[in-house]
Amino acid sequence: MNEIDRQFAALVSEIQGLSEKELYHRIRANFDQVPYAIQKSCMDFFNQFNYWGRLDPQQGIYEEIEGKGAALFHHIQDFAWLYDHLADYRSKKTLYAILSNWYRYDFITTAQTKESLFDDYFDLDLVTCTPEEVFVDLGAYTGDTVLSYLKNYGEDCYQRIYCYEITPETFQILQETLAPYRDVVCRQKGVGDAEGTLSLVNHQTSASSNTLGHETGAAVPVTTLDTDIPEPITMIKADIEGFEQKALQGAKNHILRDHPKLLFSVYHNNEDLWKIPRMIHALSEAYTFYLRYNSSPLYPTEITLFAL
Average pLDDT over every residue of 110-129: 97
Across residues 191-210, what is the average pLDDT? 74
| 156 CB-side CA count, 13 A | 0
Region 203-226: what's the mean pLDDT? Answer: 74
In this prediction, what percent of the chain has a pLDDT beyond 70?
95
Q: Which amino acid is located at 218 in the chain? A: A
Q: pLDDT class for 50, splitting at 50, 70, 90?
A: confident
Q: How far apart are CA 269 and CA 170, in angstroms?
A: 24
End-to-end CA distance of the chain: 25
Q: Is pLDDT at 38 greater than 80 in this prediction?
A: yes
Give me the pLDDT at residue 285, please: 97
Across the range 195-200, mean pLDDT stands at 84
Biggest CA-to-CA distance, the chain = 58
Q: What is the pLDDT of residue 75?
A: 98
Return the domain boundaries, the chain.
3-113, 134-265
pLDDT recorded at residue 204: 61
Alpha-carbon distance 122 to 242, whole Å? 21
Burial of 91 by CB count in 10 Å (0-12 exposed, 13-18 middle, 19+ buried)?
buried
Q: What is the mean pLDDT of the chain?
A: 95
Mean pLDDT of 266-285: 97
User: How far apart, in whole angstroms, are the C-alpha atoms of residue 92 and residue 171?
Assistant: 37
> Residue 139 — left, alpha, or beta (φ > 0 → left; ψ -120 to 50 → alpha)?
left
Q: What is the DSSP letter of 86?
A: B
Q: Is the pLDDT of residue 206 over 60?
A: no
**Residue 210: its pLDDT value, please?**
60
Does residue 153 surpass a pLDDT of 90?
A: yes
DSSP code for 243? -
Q: 114: which DSSP letter?
A: S
Tell whether the model's pLDDT for residue 209 goes beyond 70. no
- In degrees and rounded to multiples of 5, residue 21 shows phi and psi of -65, -45
How many CB atoms lie under 10 A from the CB of residue 130? 10
* Phi, psi for residue 160 in degrees, rounded to 5: -160, 150
Rounded mean pLDDT, 77-88: 98
What mean pLDDT is predicted for residues 240-251?
94
* pLDDT of res. 214: 67
Looking at domain 134-265, which CATH architecture does it have?
Answer: 3-Layer(aba) Sandwich (3.40)
Question: In the predicted model, is pLDDT for residue 213 greater than 90?
Answer: no
Residue range 90-110: mean pLDDT, rounded: 98
pLDDT at residue number 205: 57
Separation between Cα atoms, residue 151 and residue 61, nearest integer Å? 44
Q: Which residues contact 60 (CB under 8 A, 6 or more apart)?
A: none
